[in-house]
Chain A
Amino acid sequence: MENSRRKFLKIAGISVLGLGVKPVVDVVASEEPQKYAPNAEALRGKRWAMVVDTRKCKNDCTDCITACHTIHNVPDIKNPKHEVKWIWAEKYGHVFPGQEHEYLDHSVENRPFMVLCNHCDDPACVRVCPTKATFKREDGIVLMDMHRCIGCRFCMAACPFGARSFNWMDPRPFVKDENAKFPTRMKGVVEKCNFCAERLAEGLMPACVEACKDKALIFGDLEDPSSEVRKILSSNYTIRRKPELGTNPMVYYIV
């Protein structure tokens, strides 16, 4: 009898203590309604990538560059020391250094190769950024938080593809038709291609892909086996820029 009474008091005491914990549990376990959410139409991918079919790319065509640079308010600065570019054309030998030789097919030699940020899987720029202004998103896009860029240019030194440009001067006077839906940049920050993160968020394809009439630029999700990029990668021989550096670029070229 005494024994069971003692037990009862013990259990009662612990139970009262347990009740005292409830407010703490409520605070920790309570779920606030989600205030922020992604757009319902947003394109979701696990690993965004691009294929550049250089066979289809035409000389003197600048559709993709114009589309990208107008939409993103990229300044048109003529001085090559100060120029800012997100996507531009290069010669074969500059895109694939070491691969060129003097007997190269003339069509390849004279063809424009569109180059842009490779959105590497192991991006050197992200590793060196001291403020974490450059970071890799879950879907693989290497993005910049312009609010945090301090303009140290470590990322420009780290990037093996020269994909980044520095704003040596106020870019505003060099932006002809301002796109009111996208910000400009300011003096003293680095900028680069963002794989049109702001367009993907609205369910749109990147501007360059949409602008290319010859379908030379193909964008899609690498982790989706039925995506167009995967189909093209599996049916064509493709190469990437400087794979030996181990950054694992996500822009593939068909030569």
Chain B
Amino acid sequence: MYDKKVIIPGIVIFLWLFLLPFWYNMGKATPPPEPKTDTPVIKQLTEKKCIEDTLFMKTSHMQLLNDWRDSVVRERNRVHTASNGKQYEMSLQKECMNCHSNKSEFCDKCHDYVAVKPYCWDCHLEPKEKK
């Protein structure tokens, strides 16, 4: 092989750089977040259930919120009828955050873990949390 002196150290350095993050983070797995739902409003609920079941909310809350915002702004709809027939106001600030008044413990925990930065809070006001 020509240029053995350059290629082999080059491969070694490349592998070292490439594997560095994996090696650095080995055994340091961050525990999965557990969003807290122990707000005063939720504690008073007899049936502790969001507008749909937990699995749907976990996987599809972003689509739901996206549908809500288009429907509210463009189609003038304000009332969401859930699959169990209950009605909810289609509003992040007025409905969602009314129960989930702990944004830092509820929203941020997972969003930070999966490194997504939703821009909801650039405009929408988050509930004031007591520290």
Of B10-18, B53-61, B78-86, the one contacting chain A is B78-86
Within 8 A of B (CB), among A172-215: 178, 180-186, 197, 201-202
What's the least CB distance linking A74 to chain B, in Å? 13
CA distance A36 to B80 in the complex (A): 5
Main secondary structure of the interface of A (DSSP, over half): loop
Residues of B within 8 A of A36 (CB): 67-68, 71, 75, 77, 79-81, 90
Residue in contact with A186 in the complex, picked from B69, B81, B122, CB distance below 8 Å? B122
Residues of B within 8 A of A201 (CB): 76, 78
Q: B interface, how many residues as a size bin?
A: 20 to 34
Q: Do A180 and B125 form a contact, CB below 8 Å, given A147-B69, A201-B76?
A: yes
Q: A interface, how many residues as a size bin?
A: 20 to 34
Q: Mark B65-104, 1 if CB is under 8 A from A, else 0.
A: 0011101011111111100000000100110000000000
What's the least CB distance linking B2 to chain A, in Å? 54
User: Does B124 have its Cβ within 8 Å of any Cβ on chain A?
Assistant: yes
User: Does B123 have its Cβ within 8 Å of any Cβ on chain A?
Assistant: yes
User: Does A234 have its Cβ within 8 Å of any Cβ on chain B?
Assistant: no
The 7 A-B pairs with the shortest beta carbon distances in the complex, nearest first, are: A36-B77, A186-B122, A183-B123, A39-B78, A183-B124, A36-B71, A145-B73
What's the least CB distance linking B71 to chain A, in Å? 5
Residues A37 and B79 in contact, CB atoms below 8 Å apart: yes
User: Does B127 have its Cβ within 8 Å of any Cβ on chain A?
Assistant: yes
User: Does A6 have its Cβ within 8 Å of any Cβ on chain B?
Assistant: no
